A and B are shown apart, each in its own frame.
Chain A
Amino acid sequence: MSGSDLLLKAEGIQKSYGGVLALHDGCIELCAGTVHALCGGNGAGKSTFLNILMGLEAPDSGRIWLNGSETRFASPASALAAGIAIITQELSPVPDMTVAENIFLGRESRRAGWFVNQTVMRRKAAELLERLNFAVDPRVKMRRLSLGQIQLVEIAKAIDQRSSVLIMDEPTSAIGDKETAVLFDAIRQLKSAGVGIIYVSHRLSELFSIADEYTVFRDGGFVRTGLMKDIDRDELIRLIVGGSLIDQQCAATEPEKATLLEVQGYSRAGEFEDINLSLKSGEIVGLYGLMGAGRSEFASSLYGISRRNRGRLVMDGAEVEINSPGDALKFRIAMITEDRKASGLFLSQSVRKNISLTSLSSLSRRSFINERKEKAVAQRMIERFHIKVRTRDQPVRQLSGGNQQKVLFARSLTTSPRILICDEPTRGIDEGAKREIHAFLAEFAAQGNAVLMISSEVQEILASCNRVVVFRHGRQVAESPVTRITPELLLHWAS
């Protein structure tokens, strides 16, 4: 590899859970002052590998060197002490503490040894956020921040620990393009300070703009490593998925004319104002905007999760009232929410029960569930979406992110919706599952239904939508067929 100093090296890392091999040959060579992309689909063994590097789990075999000397971390605390910090996919803020308190959690500035020195802590936090160009007030409580701002705080916290190795696991999955640019500036600062960064992201275009090297895992094993400049996007995708997938389906179907749903003047105080849009049969409409533009809020009120203050909804020429998700389902509108763990899935329950929950009334007689019918539906959906499960009674908790997302799609389909609202449907899932979901959406629309898709990924919008509506500060600022727009134009409208 390049001549720069080798910071962290791992070789032949192996780990199995209850007899199942999750990782059989994990390795990486991370150099100081570089960003190293760790790529792989869900189930490739990345998370296991990172957990071992962080001391969260002990490997069955394999060796790790840090700065040339062999080491093995017994706990995250010892990994931190040795200079390895991680920013995980799962955010862990203390909601009722301030931003400053969260950043310095466990290493508070003190006064007289015992008392927390709020003034110093706040000043240091403000300096840190300022230096990183993160627009977050250190005095507010975490509870009041958006998901993206929380992510920035977590990143600031990890950076402030002055680690020599920083692991970022999907740092941009919850943030918009603008915040991503801010984050990349921060990463470049760290790079020039000699920090080595292991960067995990399913957003491939990001990797090409920030990473220097890559390592690909597949099915728990090492596949290839090299320099980013020596590989192109298609090649990287081939390495990740193993080259067995059909090419991305383009939603080229010409939409029919029938209007399925029309939103007129939807408003909700402080969130969105005077939204007018229509969904036609056969159409996938993208909803683009930066974080906090009011897209998710609008979708939630359309589905009846929250109430609107003003506005009318017309379906098939007649005005309808949707005040709860139950109403929405009755009018055959289904929704897949943004945060699948918090507001979609029942993690401790089985795949079967997760799939059937919204359609139980049609699967039951006199309120007794017909389990045979239920199992048949679950089985059909598992096959339809290629959900990887051991049995249909396996808890959803045990599935990978991509498969969990497919469970939600399966559930939404059981009520035979005509309109599907999905909020960031492919966030944080692997390339293979992403393609399958895009293919599903195209097929669903082609059957005469309509999709409203919120996405923060420009590429996703351009690749799978017919039309895009752009939100900015709670207002609808542009609408256009995708054929007439470019990524630059989209960003220009949104910001």
Chain B
Amino acid sequence: MTTSTKQMGRAGARSRTLGSLGQLFARYGIVIALGLIVLALSVLSDNFLTSGNLTNVLRQVSINGILAVGMTFVILTGGIDLSIGSVLALTGMVGASLVVGSKPHSPILAILAALAVGVVAGACSGIFIAWVRLPAFVVTLGMLSAVRGLTLIYSQGMPISNLSSGFKFLGQGTFLGIPVSVVLFGATALAAWVVLAYTVYGRRVYAVGGNMRSAHTCGINVRGIIFSVYALMGLLSALAGVTLTARTTAALPQAGVAYELDAIAAVVIGGTSLTGGIGGIPLTVVGVLIIGLLNNGLDLLGISSYYQQVIKGLMIVAAVLIDKARHADAA
């Protein structure tokens, strides 16, 4: 971050033209958009800028936020994962099944089991994509269906409720006054940001997405990196799965349907390139917040959820347009 400001400072000293203003807008357009949305909502609705409502927004976005963080890794390598909604449902179900009945297991064990299932599901996709070299879109589309099926088989199509209170803490408890789910989202995003921006592994993720052949030439284990991002996505899908289950106090076999679309939307709104190699966590978080605020704000304003979908769609296209302008600038 410090380097980019330094770079801008130098470039600015060289030519302070109208063009640089446009460049600034192109680079931070999404952040500006977020600011404008906050501003507009605070003017339009008295209920918006209350701590209760803002906490509510954060709690609502935390699930999509955790998924979007994982999706950022996947998309940075030039891949995609459509199966996350199904993995979320299966892992939530596995976790829930261990904390019901007269002798529930410890919530820790349940969570670890769910996370393990998530990693295995992600690893399955990863093996087919990295080593068998099938397109990620197709593999994860298959997983979307297969894992949903496994969820239905495992649950026999029935929801699981009456979870132990220890488990429900994950979705309903607070930590220092902040909902646990929000803390989990924050911690996930922070860790992911550090990994992508400051570690060797992060650099390699960018390298694989930026140019796979160059990455191979540079001695990077390209298949290993690709495999790892899907396994990580599985892990984070499971984290989202148990959190959602704990929050809704029940595991539903139909949980998480179409969640992959919101996660992808957040990543794309944040400016991560679908071809890989460009993007990052901070702007993904902005993307997550924009989607969450739009949903919340439009609810507050009493606008039908039908319109909300239209607005979200336009937002995605607008984000890609901004991104395109930015790259035209860079070329």
Contact = CB atoms under 8 A, between A and B. Distances in A.
Interface of A: 18-20, 303, 305, 324-326, 328-329, 335, 337, 342-349, 353, 357-358, 360-361, 364, 367-369, 371, 375, 390-391, 393-395, 397-398, 411
Nearest to B199: A367
Contact of A369 (B198, B211, B217, B330): B198
Contact of B211 (A346, A368, A394): A346
Nearest to B4: A393
B199 A369 contact: yes
A63 to B, nearest CB: 26
Nearest to A398: B330
Contacts of B14: 390
B219 A360 contact: no
Interface in B215-272: 215-221
9 contacts: A20-B15, A325-B216, A326-B219, A357-B203, A361-B200, A368-B198, A368-B200, A390-B11, A391-B10
Given A19-B15, A357-B207, A325 B199 contact: no
B199 A324 contact: no
A302 to B, nearest CB: 13
B17 interface: yes
B219 A18 contact: no
**8 tightest A-B CB contacts, nearest first:** A326-B219, A346-B210, A343-B213, A19-B15, A325-B219, A329-B219, A360-B200, A393-B7
B197 to A, nearest CB: 9
Interface in B184-217: 198-201, 203-204, 206-207, 210-211, 213-217
B132 interface: no
Contact of A344 (B7, B214, B278): B214
Contacts, number: 96
Given A18-B15, A391-B11, A349 B277 contact: yes
A198 to B, nearest CB: 24
B177 interface: no
A369 B11 contact: no
Contacts of A398: 330-331
A369 B196 CA distance: 11
Most buried by B among A347, A348, A368: A348
B19 interface: yes
Interface string B8-23: 0011001101010000
B125 to A, nearest CB: 24
A26 B6 CA distance: 35
Contact of A358 (B10, B211, B219): B219
Most buried by B among A342, A346, A361: A346
A329 B17 CA distance: 45
A61 B204 CA distance: 45
Most buried by A among B14, B15, B211: B211
Contacts of A397: 330-331
A37 B277 CA distance: 39
Contacts of B199: 364, 367-369
B3 interface: yes
B51 to A, nearest CB: 36
Contact of A19 (B19, B200, B206, B278): B19
Contact of A305 (B6, B207, B216, B330): B216
B17 A325 contact: no
A352 to B, nearest CB: 8
A376 to B, nearest CB: 13
A345 B15 contact: no
A368 to B, nearest CB: 6
